[in-house]
Amino acid sequence: MAKILDDILSYREMCDAENTQTMQRGMNFRMNLAYSVVLMSQKTNAPYSDKIYPDGITVEYEGHDLPKNYSENPKLENQPEKLPSGKLTQNGYFIRAVEEYKKNKSRPELVKIYEKIHEGVWSLKGYFDLIDYKVVNDGRRNVFRYILKLSEKEENLDNQNLILNHTRLIPSEVKREVWKRDQGKCVLCGESKNLHFDHDLPFSKGGTSLLAVNVRLLCAKCNLRKSDKIE
Ligand SMILES: [Zn+2]
């Protein structure tokens, strides 16, 4: 049976996989022609309440608050479907996709989910179908909760995702171990931004990445310097 993925990526690798410099928002409707992207967190101090159901294939993802420039305390305001101007919010786009799916029996919106594990460490959970949403009172105001189910389309799309292929060869347990060992910093200069999992020997020269000892954290600058040296 299909299972949710747990592919560990650095923040930089996640952005590279989505062809973007930064991921500013948690909800990204139609990040590209093929799918939407959401960033989830199950940490207790996370700003939103997201969870994976015990069935192991369903994610409940909370909608987002009114932007800060519209309210002094967005956490006390109902999550909006539209801005005062009438423009749809990300919540609104996701709701519209659910309604279209239900009404036209069309394909559900495909959503790629990443989960934040630590600062700078993300886990790719895979591709999900956006099948439903509900409005829930969280004790203070109304919030949206979106229901996403692991999609069967996942594998076809993964083949197209070339950028992830090379980093995918490093097992997630190894990446966790490396991140811990290198303390979330570039081993050469100590930088904690723009990190990649780097393998000592390029795969093309027979390098293996199955062991943590062959993998290290490098920042983009040191990584670039390294490839200069090889050529
Ligand atoms: Zn560095």
Ligand 1 centroid–CA 189 distance in Å is 4
66-75 pLDDT, tens per residue? 999 999 999 9
- Cβ(51)–Cβ(125) under 8 Å? no
Ligand 1 centroid–CA 217 distance in Å is 8
146-155 pLDDT, tens per residue? 999 999 865 5
pLDDT given at position 205: 61
Ligand 1 centroid–CA 73 distance in Å is 39
Q: How many Cβ atoms from other residues are within 10 Å of residue 126's Cβ?
A: 23
pLDDT given at position 105: 80
| Low-confidence winner among 40-44, 71-75, 156-160, 195-199 (lowest mean pLDDT) | 156-160
What integer is the mean pLDDT of 34-58?
93
Ligand 1 centroid–CA 184 distance in Å is 11
Between β-strands 51-52 and 58-62, what pairing exists: parallel, antiparallel or unpaired?
antiparallel
Ligand 1 centroid–CA 212 distance in Å is 18
